[in-house]
Amino acid sequence: MNDIQTRISHCFANVFPDVPLAEMPRTSVASLARWDSIAQVTLLSAIGEEFSLDISLDDFEELTSWALIVDYVESRTGNG
C-alpha cells in the first residue's frame, strides 16, 4: 500500500473498526451493510479532513468503494 492508501484505510478503520485492514481494498457499499448514508458522510468527511480536500456532495454519490475513493483522492492530490 502506498501512503494515500494507508491513510484512507485508517479513515475506513475509524468508521468501520470491525473490518480487518487487509480487507479494506475490497470494501464497498455493496459488500458492507453498515455502509449507510450516515457512514458515507462520516467516512468522506474524515477523508476530506485527512487530505485537506473539499469533497462536493455530487461526488459523495459516486464514492462507493475503497478503490473509487483511492482513485478520487489520488486524482485530487496529484498523486495518481
Q: Which CATH number characterizes residue 36's domain?
A: 1.10.1200
CA–CA separation, 17 and 37 (whole Å): 17
Residue 1 has what pLDDT?
A: 77
* Count of domains observed in the chain: 1
Residue 22 has what pLDDT?
A: 92
Residue 20 has what pLDDT?
A: 94
Residue owning grid cell 477523508:
47
Per the structure, the complete domain to which residue 59 belongs is given by 3-77
Q: pTM surpassing 0.95?
A: no
DSSP labels, 21-68 = GGGGGG-BTTT-TT--HHHHHHHHHHHHHHHT----HHHHTT--BHHH
Residue 80 has what pLDDT?
A: 60
Q: What is the pLDDT of residues 14-55, one digit of tens each?
A: 999 999 999 999 999 999 999 999 999 999 999 999 999 999
